[in-house]
Each structure stands twice: as C-alpha cells, then as structure tokens.
Amino acid sequence: MPRATTPEPRQRPNDPPILILTSLAGGPKHGHALSKDIEGFAGVVLGPGALYGAITRLEERGLIEPLESDDRRRPYRISATGSAYLAAAVDEMQRLALEGARRLAVADKASVPRRGPRVAGSPA
Amino acid sequence: MSTDGTRRGTGPTSRSLLRWYPARWRARYGDEFMAMIEDDLGGRRPTLRYRLSIARSGLSERLRDAGLVGNAVSPSERVRGGALTVLCAFALFVIPGVAFAKISEHWDQSFHRGPRHVPAVAFNLLASLAGACGVAVALAAFALLPTFVTFVRAGGWPAIKRRVKWAVIATLATATAVGSLAVWASHLSSHQRNTGLGWYQLSFVIAAALFAVAVATWAAVAVAVTRRLDVGSDQLKAIGVLAVLVGVCMPVMTAAAALWWGSMATTAPWFLAGTPVGSSPSPWATNLLGVLVVMTIASGAGIFGVLRVIRSWSELEVA
C-alpha cells in the first residue's frame, strides 16, 4: 500500500531509492539493467543487496510497480506516486544546489578583495 | 565452465546466496534476484564484497520479516517479534544466571562476622525476579498452548519436528552429562571439585556448553513455533505484557548481581577468591565479570524487544 509521497528530509542524490527512481523515470528496467544504468549516469555501483533492498522498500511504498514478464527478469516502472516523490526530491536537491551555488558566489566575491592586498604584502 | 577455474555456473551460487533472505522474501523476489545475480556475474565467481552486500541485505530483510526493524509488517507481527526477542534474550540470560547460581552457592555461610544484609537483599532480589521471569515464560507458553495444539492437529508438526528433535537430543545429552558429573562429584573432595582435578573441570565446562546448546535449541523451537501460530489479539496482548515484565526484570537482575559482587567484595572477599575466611584477597573474579558481561548483553537485547513491543502496542489497539 502506498505510504509516502514526499521525500525524507536530507535526501541525498546518491541514495539508492533516488537513483532507482531516476533510472526508472527513463523507462522500465529489470535489476541488472537498473544497476548498469545507475553506474552509467551516476558512477555509483549499487551492490545486489542494496539494489534489491531499495527495490523492496520502494515497492512496499508504492513508488515503483512490477511489470509482467515472460522470463525471470522482472522489470519495474515508476508509479505516479513515485514520479511525484522523485519530482519533490529533485526540487529539494535543486533548491539546495542553488542555495549552495549562491552562497559560494557570495563567498567568492567577498574573499577576492581581501585576498588581493594580502598577496601584495600590505596587511590591513 | 572454463578450465581456468574462474568461470563456473552461477546457479548453485545464486541459490546459496539467496538463503540469506527470509522465505517470504525469496517467494516474492527470489527468481528475479537470482536472474540478476546470474546477469551480474556472467559465470564468474562472486567477490567477497558482492557476497557481503547480499549477506547484509538478507539479514536486514530477516530482521524486517521478524518484525524487529521497520514497519513493513503488521503491528501484531511487530509485537510478536519484540516478545520473541525478549524470549531469546532471556534464554541467553539463563546461561550466566545458572553460572551465577553456581558461583554464589553457599555464599551466606562464608560470613563469620559483619553485615550481610546488602548481599542478602541483592541475592534475594535476583532469585525472586528469576523465579518471576520463569513463571512469566511458563504463563506465556500456557497462553499459547491451545493454539499450539490446533497448529499440530492441522498438520504443523513436520515444520518444527527437526528443531524439536535437536532440542530433545541436546537436553538428553545435557541431562546425561550433568547426572554423570553429579555422581562423579559425590566421590570427590571439595578441593578436587574446585581446583584440583583437571578432568573434572573439563567435564564441567563440557556440561555447561551442552546446557547452553540445550537452552539455545529450545529457544529456537519456541521462536519457530510462535512465528507459525495464528495468535489471537488477546493472546498477543498477554504475551506482550509478559515479555515487558521479563525484559524489565533482566537489567534489574543484572544490577542485583553487580551489587551482590560489590557487597561481597567489601564484606567477604575470601568467598570470591576461595581463600580462607578472614583473608584479604583481590575481589576481582573473572568468572563473575564474564557473567555480568553476558547478563548485560542479554538485558540490552531484552530492552530492545520491550521497546519494540511498547512502540507497536498503540497500533495494535487501533488494528
């Protein structure tokens, strides 16, 4: 039964659930294909235990859905709830990234004038 | 399979790796998980890191399946899991408890003067609570007895038969060892029993190990049975209350054992060291330290179970 529609606080971009949802946002995939896709776009190698642990939790929460399959490789797709969850997580990470970039820009501007005179050897 | 030995069929390997997971998880994800492992490995042998990833995840799923972590299972399963954790913790506690009973045997005869009320209070508290815990475990078993009979009549016996067989074998072995030891001990002097005879000491250790195995196998039987029973709400509540009682008693008993040690160390250290009455040996006793360490570990596990029961209790009421 779906339980969660909003991401947990301090969601990290390399958390297995976010990586899996991001991968499935590009289309349905089975376990091995998910693992290779995530390694390709995020450079993160998810162990089989971590991958299927996350798949189990995501399915319990109704964020992904299994698809019918003729062979043992069962593909999964992102559900509507999962898409909303991922969108909220992406918004949160984007907001954090923009805030970080803004503060870094402020810090850079503030530090340049102070560094100048010190390098020139004229203490304040 | 190639001739270099590095590539081989992964069917048996993936099946053996799958055993880390609980049966319910295997029934749902087993086939696709094995297919993924076979795709991942491509006939190669799994690395240690790969195996560890599966082992860690499988154990985590087992804890979830037992209702010990997460909220994936129903509140009643979580209460049951918490109560079984307390039972296992108490089974562990019994082992140092029996060792403590042996160590403290005839302690009150070791005083020739001085106050003995502090060790007496600590010892009596420990003994009373141990008795209360034993009664609580028996009551829990009694509460489940009708459901157990129904389970067996419905054809559940084969599912627990192997575990019961091993528990009975371990119990008979323990009874034989302890009985033989008692007969042997009756022909030995006090000095030979306590320090003098190496073979007797070794036999004592073997009997103690057999006792620990017997306790562990019966705990395994209790867990296997209780997890399979269709327990009613009232039964579950009764078991939950009894589990909380036992879980709370264990740290108190541990504290009482520590208090007894401390008070004996100050008033009758010769008893702990086995030296003549009135002497002043070191009060440090390695065996008592070991007893307290295991008691503390068991108490910690018991409190974990108690918290699991209490946290799931309100949801049980709603359900």
Domain ranges of chain A: 16-120
CA–CA min distance B62, chain A (Å): 11
Q: Side chain identity at B33, as an amino acid letter?
A: F
CB contacts of B58 in chain A (<8 Å) are 49
Residue of B22, B23, B53 lying closest to B36 (CA atoms): B53
CA–CA min distance B41, chain A (Å): 10
B22-60 residue pLDDT tens: 999 999 999 999 999 988 888 888 899 999 999 999 999
Tokens of B110: 């070791």
Domain boundaries, chain B: 11-61, 76-318
Tokens of B103: 């160590």
| Whole-number pLDDT of residue B152 | 93
| Whole-number pLDDT of residue B201 | 79
* Confidence tier at B242 by pLDDT (50, 70, 90): very high
- Examine the pLDDT at A124 and tell me if it is beyond 50: no
User: What values do phi and psi take at A76, rounded to 5?
Assistant: -125, 155
- Considering only residues B7 and A5, tell me which one the structure prediction assigns the higher pLDDT: A5
- Examine the pLDDT at B18 and tell me if it is beyond 70: yes
Q: Are B287 and B103 in contact (CB under 8 A)?
A: yes
- Which range (B158-162, B214-218, B261-265) has the least confidence? B261-265
Give the span between the Cα atoms of B105 and B112, in whole angstroms: 16
Q: Are B211 and B91 in contact (CB under 8 A)?
A: no
Provide DSSP, A67-113: ---SSS---EEE-HHHHHHHHHHHHHHHHHHHHHHHHHHHHHHHHHH
Q: Are B77 and A70 in contact (CB under 8 A)?
A: no
- Considering only residues A108 and B291, tell me which one the structure prediction assigns the higher pLDDT: B291
| Whole-number pLDDT of residue A5 | 52
Q: Are A65 and A59 in contact (CB under 8 A)?
A: yes
| Whole-number pLDDT of residue A119 | 42
Tokens of B19: 């055993």
Return the residue in B33, B52, B63 with the most chain A beta carbons within 10 A, the one to mutate for interface testing: B33
- H-assigned helices in chain B: 11-18, 23-41, 48-65, 75-103, 117-151, 157-185, 190-191, 198-228, 233-267, 269-273, 286-318
* Confidence tier at B267 by pLDDT (50, 70, 90): confident
Q: Are A4 and B8 in contact (CB under 8 A)?
A: no
DSSP, collapsed to helix, strand or coil, labels residue A65 as: strand
Residue of B32, B143, B141 lying closest to B90 (CA atoms): B141
- Examine the pLDDT at B3 and tell me if it is beyond 70: no
| Whole-number pLDDT of residue A90 | 93
- Examine the pLDDT at A121 and tell me if it is beyond 60: no
- Which range (B81-95, B129-143, B219-233) has the least confidence? B219-233
Give the span between the Cα atoms of A112 and A99, in whole angstroms: 20
Choose the closest CB to B57 out of A32, A35, A49. A49
Give the span between the Cα atoms of B109 and B150, in whole angstroms: 51
Q: Do A73 and B35 touch (CB under 8 A)?
A: yes
Give the span between the Cα atoms of A37 and A49, in whole angstroms: 17
Tokens of A11: 């969601």
Tokens of B3: 């001739």
* Confidence tier at B4 by pLDDT (50, 70, 90): very low
- Which range (A102-116, B208-222, B229-243) has the least confidence? A102-116
- Considering only residues B240 and B42, tell me which one the structure prediction assigns the higher pLDDT: B240
DSSP, collapsed to helix, strand or coil, labels residue A43 as: coil
Q: Are B226 and B91 in contact (CB under 8 A)?
A: no
DSSP, collapsed to helix, strand or coil, labels residue B7 as: strand
Choose the closest CB to B34 out of A35, A47, A72. A72
| Whole-number pLDDT of residue B111 | 67
Would you tell me how many other CB atoms lie within 10 Å of the CB of residue B286? 7
| Whole-number pLDDT of residue A62 | 94
B122-171 residue pLDDT tens: 999 999 999 999 999 999 999 999 999 999 999 999 999 999 999 999 99
Tokens of A1: 């039964």
User: Does this model's pTM top 0.90?
Assistant: no
- Examine the pLDDT at A40 and tell me if it is beyond 70: yes
Q: Residues of chain B whose C-beta is under 8 A from some C-beta in A?
A: 25, 29, 31-37, 39-40, 49-50, 52-58, 60-61, 72
B232 in the Ramachandran plot: left (φ > 0), alpha (ψ -120 to 50) or beta? Answer: beta
**pLDDT, mean over chain B:** 86
Average pLDDT estimate for A73-100: 94
What sign for the dihedral angle of Cα B23, B224, B50, A21? positive
| Whole-number pLDDT of residue B113 | 61
Q: Are B298 and B92 in contact (CB under 8 A)?
A: yes
Average pLDDT estimate for B53-82: 88
- Examine the pLDDT at A34 and tell me if it is beyond 60: yes
- Examine the pLDDT at A8 and tell me if it is beyond 70: no
- Examine the pLDDT at B181 and tell me if it is beyond 70: yes
Nearest CA in chain B to A32: B36
Tokens of B298: 């068991």
Query: Does A16-120 carry CATH code 3.40.50.1700?
Result: no
Nearest CA in chain B to A29: B36
* DSSP designation for B194: I
